[in-house]
Amino acid sequence: LVNNAGIIKRIPMEEMAVEDFRRVVDVDLIAPYICAKAVIPGMIKKGHGKIINICSMMSELGRETVSAYAAAKGGLKMLTRNICSEYGEYNIQCNGIGPGYIATDQTAPLREIQPDGSRHPFDQFIISKTPAARWGTPEDLMGPAVFLASDASDFVNGHVLYVDGGILAYIGKQPK
């Protein structure tokens, strides 16, 4: 099982309607719970299984305007660890992938070249905070997903593999 569905609403917390917050939590946390709950009995019966939750580096970091997303992804990280704790004895591995900023259609507006030819301010920010100095690509997530789905990860359980170009490890450049 790969729990990959997710949404984000970039709205300041005091402006976000409770319904919008709930919608993000429903898609990003409750849906993976429902899907995992549905497949775990069959995995127990087979004697093995793999669950990969697409968490986010926002399960580790906070940032303005993404309170619902960060809360849901933090919850998904903990759900990952708890599934490991409850079902590891049945040879079920539950791990997460924590993507950093990935160049997708959803993030395209944040990477648009400005009318004056400069980079979008958020794009500049991400490039400056990522040691790899680039956005990730969907292809960057393929190897980690294959590893976590394969027998090579049979003793890896409850782990979130951050695929973020090093952003979580980096405090930033020292001012000159």
Active site amino acids: 69
Report the C-alpha gap between 89 and 67 in whole angstroms.
34
Q: Residues 68, 101: contact at Cβ < 8 Å?
A: no
Question: Which 3 state secondary structure label does DSSP give 7?
Answer: coil
Which two three-digit tokens encode residue 112? 């648009």
Following CA atoms 111, 129, 97, 158 in sequence, which dihedral angle do they give, to the nearest 10 degrees? -160
What's the DSSP call for residue 112?
Answer: P
Closest by alpha carbon to 62, among 13, 6, 121? 13
In sequence order, the 6+-apart residues with CB closer than 8 A to the CB of 42 are 49
Report the C-alpha gap between 6 and 4 in whole angstroms.
6
